[in-house]
Amino acid sequence: MNLVIDVGNTFIKFAVFGRETLEHKVRFKSSHFIAEFKAVKEAYPNLKRAIISSVGNLKADCIELATENIDLITLDAKTKLPFINSYKTPKTLGVDRIALVSASVKEFPKKNVLIIDAGTCVTYDFITDKNEYLGGAISPGIRLRYQTLHNLTANLPLLKTSQPENIIGNTTESAIHSGIVNGIIKEIDGVIDEYRHKYSDLTIILTGGDAKFLSNQLKNSIFANSNFLLEGLNFILEFNSK
Q: Is 96 marked as binding a ligand? A: yes
- 128 and 68 together in one domain: no
| Catalytic residue selected from 71, 76, 96, 129 | 96
- 98 and 185 together in one domain: yes
Q: Is residue 79 part of a domain?
A: no
Q: Which domain holds residue 7?
A: 2-74
DSSP 8-state secondary structure symbol assigned to residue 203: E
- 16 and 99 together in one domain: no
- 116 and 59 together in one domain: no
- 31 and 65 together in one domain: yes
Percent of the chain with pLDDT over 70: 100
- 99 and 53 together in one domain: no
- 109 and 89 together in one domain: yes
| Buried b or exposed e, range 62-76, using 16+ CB within 10 angstroms | bbeebeeeeeebbbe
- 89 and 203 together in one domain: yes
- 90 and 9 together in one domain: no
139-188: pLDDT as tens digits: 999 999 999 999 999 999 999 999 999 999 999 999 999 999 999 999 99
Last residue of a domain, one of 24, 53, 74: 74
Report which of 22, 18, 56, 118 is spatially closest to residue 33, judged by C-alpha positions: 56
Dihedral angle over CA of 55, 61, 67, 68, nearest 10 = -160
Q: Is residue 100 part of a domain?
A: yes
Q: Is residue 126 part of a domain?
A: yes
List residues bridging with 140 in a β-sheet. Answer: 121
With H, G, I as helix, E, B as strand and everything else as coil, classify residue 56: coil
What is each CA distance from 20 to 17, 54, 63, 84, 126, in whole angstroms?
6, 21, 24, 22, 23
Last residue of a domain, one of 24, 43, 74: 74
Q: What's the pTM?
A: 0.92
Q: Is residue 171 part of a domain?
A: yes
Q: Give the whole-angstrom CA distance, residue 191 versus residue 176.
A: 22
Phi, psi of 21 (to 5 degrees): -95, 125
Count Cα neighbours of 51 within 13 Å in the Cβ-side half-sphere.
Answer: 27
64-116: pLDDT as tens digits: 888 888 899 999 999 999 999 999 999 999 999 999 999 999 999 999 999 99
pLDDT at 138: 97
pLDDT at 225: 87
Q: Is 105 marked as binding a ligand? A: no
Looking at the 3D structure of the chain, how many domains does it have?
2
Q: Is 21 marked as binding a ligand? A: no
pLDDT score of 242 more than 80: no
DSSP 8-state secondary structure symbol assigned to residue 30: G
Q: Is residue 13 part of a domain?
A: yes
CB distance 111 to 126 below 8 Å: no
pLDDT at 27: 94
Q: Is 10 marked as binding a ligand? A: yes
Q: Is 61 a catalytic residue?
A: no
Last residue of a domain, one of 74, 105, 135: 74
- 69 and 112 together in one domain: no
Q: Is 9 marked as binding a ligand? A: yes
Measure CA 202 to chain center: 19
pLDDT score of 56 more than 80: no
Q: Is 11 marked as binding a ligand? A: yes
Q: Is residue 238 part of a domain?
A: no
- 20 and 58 together in one domain: yes
Q: Give the whole-angstrom CA distance, residue 234 versus residue 217.
A: 30
Q: Is residue 93 part of a domain?
A: yes
Q: Is residue 241 part of a domain?
A: no
Residue 100 sits in a domain of what CATH number?
3.30.420.40
- 185 and 215 together in one domain: yes
Q: Is 199 marked as binding a ligand? A: no
